[in-house]
A and B are shown apart, each in its own frame.
Chain A
Amino acid sequence: MEAGRQDYNLLVIGGGSGGLACAKEAAQLGMKVAVVDYVEPSPRGTRWGLGGTCVNVGCIPKKLIHQAALLGGMIRDAPHYGWDVAQPVLHDWRKMAEAVQNYVKSLNWGHRVQLQDRKVKYFNIKASFVNEHTICGVTKGGKETLLSAEHIVIATGGRPRYPTHIEGALEYGITSDDIFWLKESPGKTLVVGASYVALECAGFLTGLGLDTTVMMRSIPLRGFDQQMSSLVTAYMASQGTRFLKHCTPSRVQKLPDGQLQVTWEDLTSGKENMGTFSTVLWAIGRIPETRSLNLENAGINTNPNSQKILVDAQEATSVPHIYAIGDVAEGRPELTPTAIMAGKLLARRLYGQSLDVMDYSNVPTTVFTPLEYGCVGLSEEEAMARHGEEHVEVYHAYYKPLEFTVAERDASQCYIKMVCLRKPPQLVLGLHFLGPNAGEVTQGFALGIKCGASYEQVMRTVGIHPTCAEEVAKLRISKRSGLDPTVTGC
Chain B
Amino acid sequence: MDNEDGRRRRGRGGASGGQANLWPVRSVGGVHGSPFPGPVLAPPPASRSLSRSGQAGSDTEALAQPPPPPPPRAQTSPGPVKVGTAPNRRLGSVRGVLVSSPPGRRARLSSPGTGRSSSEAREELRRRLLGLIEGNRVMIFSKSYCPHCTRVKELFSSLGVQCNILELDQVDDGANVQEMLSEITNQRTVPNIFVNKVHMGGCDRTFQAHQSGLLQKLLQEDSTYDYDLIVIGGGSGGLACAQEAAILGKKVMVLDFVVPSPQGTSWGLGGTCVNVGCVPKKLMHQAALLGQALNDSRKFGWEYGQQVKHNWETMTEAIQNHISSLNWGHRLSLREKSVDYVNSYGEFVEHHRIKATNRKGQETSYTAAKFVIATGERPRYLGIQGDKEYCITSDDLFSLPYCPGKTLVVGASYVALECAGVLTGLGLDVTVMVRSVLLRGFDQEMAERVGSYMEQHGVKFLRKFIPVMVQQLEKGSPGKLKVVAKSTEGPETIEGVYNTVLLAIGRDSCTRKMGLDKIGVKINKKTGKIPVNDVEQTNVPYVYAVGDILEGKLELTPVAIQAGKLLARRLFGGCLEKCDYINVPTTVFTPLEYGCCGLSEEKAIEVYKKENLEVYHTFFWPLEWTVAGRDNNTCYAKIICNKFDNYRVIGFHVLGPNAGEVTQGFAAAMKCGLTKQLLDDTIGIHPTCGEVFTTLEITKSSGLDITQKGC
Chain A residues at the B interface, C-beta cutoff of 8 Å: 54, 59-60, 63-64, 67-68, 71-72, 74-75, 77-97, 99-100, 103, 106-107, 109-111, 113, 208, 335-338, 341, 359, 363-366, 374, 395, 402-403, 405-406, 423-426, 437, 439-448, 450-470, 472-473, 476-478, 481, 483-484, 488-490
Contacts and interface: CB of A to CB of B under 8 A. Distances in A.
B685 A442 contact: yes
Given A68-B301, A335-B686, A455-B39, A462 B562 contact: yes
A425 B42 CA distance: 8
B650 to A, nearest CB: 15
Nearest to A80: B318
25 contacts: A64-B623, A68-B300, A75-B297, A83-B287, A83-B310, A85-B305, A87-B304, A99-B627, A109-B710, A110-B710, A337-B684, A365-B685, A402-B283, A403-B286, A406-B318, A426-B39, A437-B658, A443-B665, A443-B694, A446-B665, A447-B674, A460-B40, A462-B667, A465-B557, A490-B326
B65 interface: no
B666 interface: yes
Given A74-B293, A464-B587, A490-B329, A448 B668 contact: yes
A469 B658 CA distance: 10
Contact of B668 (A71, A78, A85, A461): A461
Contacts of A99: 299-301, 627
Nearest to B585: A464
A229 to B, nearest CB: 18
Interface of A is mostly: helix
Contact of A91 (B303, B309, B673): B303
Interface in B316-333: 316, 318-319, 322, 325-326, 329-330, 332-333
Interface string B504-546: 0000000000000000000000000000000000000000000
Contacts of B305: 85-86
Contacts of A86: 304-305, 307-308
A71 B37 contact: no
A102 to B, nearest CB: 8
B665 A442 contact: yes
Nearest to A446: B682
Interface residues of B, number: 101
A424 B45 contact: yes
B558 interface: yes
B688 to A, nearest CB: 4
A423 B626 CA distance: 47
Interface in B42-82: 42, 44-45
A444 B2 contact: no
A88 B304 CA distance: 6
Interface in B663-711: 663-669, 671-674, 678-679, 681-691, 693-694, 709-711
A444 B318 contact: no
Contact of A476 (B38, B287, B310, B684): B38
A476 B709 CA distance: 45
Interface in B548-582: 556-559, 562, 580
Given A103-B626, A481-B3, A447 B39 contact: no
Contacts of A337: 683-686, 691, 694
Nearest to A490: B329
A489 B682 CA distance: 36
A99 B298 CA distance: 11
Given A83-B294, A463-B664, A451 B678 contact: yes
Given A455-B39, A483-B6, A488-B1, A467 B664 contact: yes
Contacts of A478: 37
A63 B683 contact: no
Contacts of A338: 683
B30 A71 contact: no
A464 B660 contact: yes
Given A92-B301, A464-B660, 18 more contacts: A74-B297, A75-B297, A80-B318, A84-B308, A99-B627, A106-B711, A335-B683, A365-B685, A366-B688, A402-B279, A440-B661, A440-B690, A444-B664, A470-B664, A476-B38, A481-B3, A483-B3, A490-B330
